[in-house]
Amino acid sequence: MIPGEFQYFAPTTVDEAVSLLQQHGEDAKLLGGGHSLLPAMKLRLTTPAVLIDVTKISDIKGVSVNGSVTVGGGATYHAVASNDAVRSACGVLADCVAQIGDTQVRNRGTIGGSLAHADPAADLPAVALALGATITAQGPGGARTINADDMFVEMLTTALEPNEIITSVSFPRLGAGAGAAYEKMRQPASRYAIVGVAAYVKLGSDGNVAEARVAVTGAGPKATRQDATEAAITGTNGDDAAIAAATDKAGEDMDYLGDIHASEEYRRAMVKVYTKRALAKAIAQARG
């Protein structure tokens, strides 16, 4: 299929991109790697009259590791997955993006595009939730930060305003006593998550789980924190029995989606299987 006609702009600064968004209003869409937007345009699911390509804005393509891991909204998955400093400071982030799609997708797809698109089967939203990432968005009024917990509103809908651009995303460094893992059942052709679970744990000085964050993607309309699982594992010694008890609570109070790849019932079952794997791996990592 051929997309509808559109005007193309390639700004080189964030200010220029924001001003183009303001100028063209609802007719305009930002273009990142194009791996979600262009297929949707070819299917005429969306027909923006104006595309504003953000991939020429060098300021939003960087990856830096200091007190935290800061990734530009325009950084590609490959730039993150291949960064040794990211792998050592926040291995789960590098692991997650290394599992997205194939080489072509990882070379073009961007961190900002993934979070802004909020595909129900996208991997990164679960990791952003489990790590408590902070998203920085710039609009006409300046920059603001959005906590990952507030970002994913419903299927393909986020807390971003239409005239905002994701300029960077900040993830924590995983220090001593912390561990995090992302485990997914992937759709064999696209590698989208049929079910994906990200888990983060922090151990206290007594060796017990002091803090836990668990998030599921792929199973329902949007990536979702697992409050009951988090509460069940917190305060325990994180042994097999504790993991099993916490896993038992996974997927409660969640909406499920069924499609040609997996039924709702199957996804419900897999949420527990992958929660167990992710929690066990995160706890083992936290113990060092």
Ligand X SMILES: Cc1cc2nc3c(=O)[nH]c(=O)nc-3n(C[C@H](O)[C@H](O)[C@H](O)COP(=O)(O)OP(=O)(O)OC[C@H]3O[C@@H](n4cnc5c(N)ncnc54)[C@H](O)[C@@H]3O)c2cc1C
Task: Provide the binding-site residues for ligand X, judged by CB under 6 A.
Answer: 29-37, 54, 73-74, 100-101, 105, 109-110, 112-114, 116-117, 119, 122-124, 160, 165-166, 190-192
Residues 6 or more apart whose CB falls under 8 angstroms from that of 163 comprise: 18, 21, 22, 25, 139, 140
C-beta of 110 vs 234, nearer to ligand X: 110
C-beta of 116 vs 282, nearer to ligand X: 116
Residue with tokens 């997996």: 262
Q: Nearest distance from residue 3's CB to ligand X, in Å?
A: 12
Q: Nearest distance from residue 20's CB to ligand X, in Å?
A: 12
C-beta of 177 vs 221, nearer to ligand X: 221
Q: Nearest distance from residue 202's CB to ligand X, in Å?
A: 26
Which of 34, 33, 54 shows the shortest CA–CA distance to 110?
Answer: 33
Strands 157-158 and 152-154, by their bridges, are antiparallel
Q: Nearest distance from residue 132's CB to ligand X, in Å?
A: 19
C-beta of 187 vs 236, nearer to ligand X: 187
C-beta of 69 vs 165, nearer to ligand X: 165
Residues 6 or more apart whose CB falls under 8 angstroms from that of 166 comprise: 60, 73, 111, 112, 115, 116, 135, 136, 137, 160
C-beta of 11 vs 73, nearer to ligand X: 73
Q: Nearest distance from residue 2's CB to ligand X, in Å?
A: 17
9: left (phi over 0), alpha (psi -120 to 50) or beta: beta
Q: Nearest distance from residue 245's CB to ligand X, in Å?
A: 30
C-beta of 194 vs 246, nearer to ligand X: 194
Q: Nearest distance from residue 181's CB to ligand X, in Å?
A: 17
